[in-house]
Chain A
Amino acid sequence: MLPSHPWNAERASEIIAAHGAAEGATLPILHALQEAFGHVPEAAVPMIAAALNLTRAEVHGVVTFYHDFRRAPPGRHVVKLCRAEACQSAGGRAVADGVRTRLGVSWGGTTPDGRVTLEAVYCLGLCATAPAAMVDGEVIGRLDEAAAERMLRAIR
């Protein structure tokens, strides 16, 4: 289960202040905000811009460029499934199709009950124990249909 905290401007300012002094602080700030709020809240964009002396458009451009940064809160669990070649060669496509069908969502989607968000990743560096996934930060390898089923049951 991922921590999810409601928007809190004060907390956001603290985070921005804590990382703002570093060289090129934008990514560290965005990561820390996402860690705290599960996503990068729109309300934080002008705050970052002000702190780093950037325009809102610049900060917005950074948030949208990187696949990691979410613009909306995810489900209570995040399943990142590898779609890259080594996992494909080891049966990853079938596993991915099964997971999408089971959850009834496509890449980037969240189940209607808000339980799971499914995200595509392109390699987790677990290519010798493929197919691989990461569930709420925990790595899982050698996935097949049965293992994927267990993986999803564990986060019911």
Chain B
Amino acid sequence: MTATLYVPRDAGALAVGAERVAQALAAGAAARGIAARIVRTGSRGLYWLEPMVEIATPAGRIAYGPVAEDDVPGLLDAGLLDVGLLEGAPHRLRLGPPEAIPFLARQTRLVFARCGIVDPLSLDDYRANGGLQGLARAIAIGPQATVETIVESGLRGRGGAGFPTGIKWRTVAAAAGAPKYVVCNADEGDSGTFADRMLLEGDPFVVIEGMAIAGVAAGATRGYLYIRSEYPHAVAAAQAAIDAARGAGVLGAGILGSSHDFDIAVRVGAGAYVCGEETALLESLEGRRGQVRAKPPLPAHAGLFGKPTVINNVVSLASAPFILANGAAAFRDCGYGRSRGTMPIQLAGNVRRGGLFEAAFGMTLGELVDDVGGGTASGRPVRAVQVGGPLGAYFPRALFDTPFDYEAFAARDGLIGHGGVVVFDDSVDMAQQARFAMEFCAIESCGKCTPCRIGATRGVEVVDRIVAGTAREANLALLEELCTTMKLGSLCALGGLTPYPVMSALTHFPEDFRSGPRLAAAE
């Protein structure tokens, strides 16, 4: 009997040796004369256990991890490929059924339901696991009912701003102009985030299906999937999946045999963080510098090439297939306050159990960091967490009761952004983090507004003077004033929200802004 093994090809798994493990497994099985099929999947998102290898048994899958290349002979000796062992082979790396691992068992996987389980490029796998039902439903009920289903679901944009997705689609559907476009924002520039990457690599068809549903809903025929260049594996997976979808009539003329035409082209970014901002992204797609456009007009009215355009984050679009297939209520019924559905929360950095945790909104930051994440990887106390990427605030432990919800974070001068949570231990120097926030803004500014372009560079200098103890009080006042100017005088959130990490560091960790032993030690 052929043994079926699952080894991720996700970039995060490859980065810690999954390719070498897959090769060692293939070679080891061959050397033992055992027939083995190795399916390359995406990641389950349990990155501290990567490379995680699974084997199919009649009683379900059994996982092992983290598996190093050197562990493979021992695993094979223990009976890894013996599919008759329903409990798996006795081995110190045996994790048991993956679904029973608490990190996974506690999740509500609606959007990432297939990720890490299926062969990402098999349309048959996709169909067999519920894929394309949402698109079929959208075609059956028609554009207007599709839009209203998304409105009713309460889905808000997962790219950061949290704008209601259904309202955006309704606006494009009602706008005059042709062709209309659907643009999928896979620029995912926020540090600490990898949900878009994981999904594009592990279940690209769900993104394609989501874009097609948006196409049906808004009457758009052309799609662009804009992926950052830092994600070559996602680019390759998306391109292959689009080709397969087109070959099977899921894309192209008359999708799924309907009267709707829709097709997608992949475009690759070029290392500019600001191109994640929707209008800068459109400029980039049009072949120009990624400079932010003034609004109005909204992209929904005059977007790509001046045409009505739906632009949404990967996860927003990939939520649509679930909502259409299972009904708006199934999505809306989980969540917290005005944040409905699930959010793929990404635990990153110095965290013991780093990975992707899809859960209904509403868990507290403390539960996420301490219980789910298990505290720091270094074993030292958690001192600060940055939530929502480089424009997100630093939260001290004192705010760990904040529920994961757009409004609750905003009420505490923070944001959830794209769901990244970066954990820092007590060796962090928060003045250095504030300095970096300004430095990053200066590097990535599109240059359109002065407070952002010049202010961020000044900000770096001011933090340096504070830390050096030069006219400390005056410079602290100057930093605050600079932040206010940036907040009020910037066209987009890059300049407008960089004050969040800076001011939160200063407010919650003022002791780090005094020249003293901590800073002397750091230099």
- Interface set of A (CB-CB < 8 Å, partner B): 22-28, 30-31, 52, 58, 61-62, 65-69, 84-91, 121-130, 132, 134, 137-142
Contacts and interface: CB of A to CB of B under 8 A. Distances in A.
B289 A68 contact: no
Chain B interface mostly: mixed
Given A122-B443, A123-B191, A129-B16, 7 more contacts: A24-B286, A27-B270, A31-B229, A61-B288, A88-B349, A90-B377, A128-B347
Contacts of A134: 230
Interface string B319-334: 0000000000000000
Given A28-B267, A86-B192, A89-B424, A126 B350 contact: no
Contacts of B350: 89-91
B436 A123 contact: no
A122 B377 CA distance: 22
B456 interface: no
A141 B433 CA distance: 22
Contacts of B278: none
Given A86-B349, A89-B349, A132 B288 contact: no
A27 B267 CA distance: 8
A58 B288 CA distance: 8
A87 B349 contact: yes
A132 B15 contact: yes
Given A132-B15, A139-B14, A31 B349 contact: no
B194 interface: yes
A90 B380 CA distance: 12
A26 B288 contact: yes
10 contacts: A24-B305, A28-B267, A67-B271, A85-B191, A87-B349, A121-B271, A122-B444, A126-B15, A127-B346, A129-B50
Of A87, A88, A90, A123, most B-chain CB atoms within 10 Å: A123
Contacts of A24: 285-288, 305
A62 B284 CA distance: 9
Interface in B128-186: none
A86 B433 CA distance: 11
A123 B233 CA distance: 15
Nearest to A80: B230
Given A65-B290, A122-B444, A142-B16, A127 B194 contact: yes
B88 interface: no
Contacts of A123: 189-193, 230
A87 B230 CA distance: 15
Contacts of A61: 288-289
Interface residues of B, number: 63
Contacts of A22: 265
Contacts of A91: 350
B221 interface: no
A142 B16 CA distance: 7
Contacts of B422: 85-86, 89, 127
A70 B50 CA distance: 34
B223 to A, nearest CB: 12
B273 interface: yes
B188 A88 contact: no
Contacts of B193: 123, 125, 127
A125 B272 contact: no
A134 B377 CA distance: 22
Given A61-B289, A89-B428, A141-B15, A126 B194 contact: yes
Contacts of B267: 27-28
B191 A128 contact: no
A53 B191 CA distance: 37
Given A66-B290, A129-B50, A85 B11 contact: no
Given A128-B47, A137-B232, A141-B12, A85 B268 contact: no
B390 A84 contact: yes
A26 B287 contact: yes
B436 A88 contact: yes
A141 B270 CA distance: 22
B229 A68 contact: yes
A23 B263 CA distance: 14
Interface string B240-270: 0000000000000000000000000101111
B348 interface: yes
A139 B233 CA distance: 10
B58 to A, nearest CB: 32
A130 B231 CA distance: 16
Nearest to B394: A85
Contacts of A122: 189, 191, 273, 390, 440, 443-444
B509 interface: no
Interface in B188-217: 188-194, 196-197
Nearest to A30: B270
B386 interface: yes
Contact of A125 (B12, B265, B289, B423): B12
